[in-house]
Amino acid sequence: AQKITQTQPGMFVQEKEAVTLDCTYDTSDPSYGLFWYKQPSSGEMIFLIYQGSYDQQNATEGRYSLNFQKARKSANLVISASQLGDSAMYFCAMRELFSGSARQLTFGSGTQLTVLP
Amino acid sequence: DVKVTQSSRYLVKRTGEKVFLECVQDMDHENMFWYRQDPGLGLRLIYFSYDVKMKEKGDIPEGYSVSREKKERFSLILESASTNQTSMYLCASTLGPARGDTQYFGPGTRLTVL
C-alpha cells in the first residue's frame, strides 16, 4: 500500500483565492512527522511546513497551514491568498520514527498547482 | 538560514565515465542524504550518512557509492555512469530533532548521461 497518497495530479486556483492540496498517509507507527515541500520548475525542493503526530494544534507558517486530521490520516495543505509564485509541484512526505529507517522520508507523487492571473 | 549547496546545476557525462556529485551544508548537520527524482517514480533515497565516514544504503543504492570524509560534505559517486542514471539528483541535510528532523534540500543537479 502507498504510504503517502496525493490524489490530485493537477490543480488550478485563481490568484488571491485559497486552495487545498490533499494528502493521506498510512502508518502504524505511533510517532511520525508530516511535511510539505514545494518544488518550482527550477528544481529546488523547498520546505514549507511540518506537523508532528502528537501536535495538538494544526501547524501554520505564514500563508501555509496544515489541516491535520489524525483519525482520517489526512494532512492537507491549505494555501491562502494564492500568488502567481505559488505555481509549482507540491509534495507531501512522512517520516516514521520507529518503522524502518527513522531518518528516511517517504514522498507522495506530488500535485502540480497552477495559479491563474 | 539553512544552506545546502550542490556542485553543479547541470551536468552532461558520457557512458562509462566516473561522476562525482558534491553536496555541502554549512550548518553542522549530522545527517545528509542523496535522492534521485524521476518522472512517475518520485523521489527515491540512494544513500544517507549520519556521521563522518558512516553511511547507510537507501532504497536504490545499486550503481552508486558515497563518501563523507568531512561533516559538511557528502559526495555521491557514479563509478561508471550509465544512461539509466540520467536523472535529477537532490541532496538534503537535517537540522536535528527540531521540527521533526526536517530535511533541507539543495538546488539539485540535473545529470544527463549520453
Q: Which chain B residue lies closest to A35 (C-alpha atoms)? A: B102
Of B31, B88, B106, the CB nearest to A103: B31
**Average pLDDT over chain A, rounded to an integer:** 93
Contact B58 A104 (CB under 8 A): yes
- A44-73 mean pLDDT: 95
Nearest one of A17, A63, A69, A72 to A38, comparing CA atoms: A63
User: What grid cell was written down for B57?
Assistant: 544504503
Highest mean pLDDT among A76-90, A95-109, B44-58: A76-90
Position B41 scores a pLDDT of: 84
- Which of B39 and B1 is assigned the larger pLDDT? B39
According to DSSP H, which parts of A20-97 are helical? none
Split at pLDDT 50, 70, 90, the class of A82 is very high
Task: Quote the CA–CA distance of B113 and B66 in Å, as a whole number.
Answer: 19
Q: Is A40 helix (H, G, I), strand (E, B) or coil?
A: coil
- Is the pLDDT confidence value at B38 over 90? yes
- A65-92 mean pLDDT: 97
Per-residue pLDDT reduced to its tens digit, B56-86: 999 999 999 999 999 999 999 999 999 999 9
Position B74 scores a pLDDT of: 97
Position B99 scores a pLDDT of: 62
Amino acid identity, residue B48? F
- Is the pLDDT confidence value at A87 over 80? yes
Count each helix (H run) and each strand (E run) in chain A, helices first: 0, 12
- Is the pLDDT confidence value at A102 over 70? no
- Which of A84 and B95 is assigned the larger pLDDT? A84
Min Cα separation B55/chain A (Å): 12
- Is the pLDDT confidence value at B96 over 70? no
Which residues in A lie closer than 8 A to residue B43 (C-beta atoms)? Answer: 91, 105, 107
Question: If you search the block for the grid coordinates 518522472, which residue do you land on?
Answer: B39
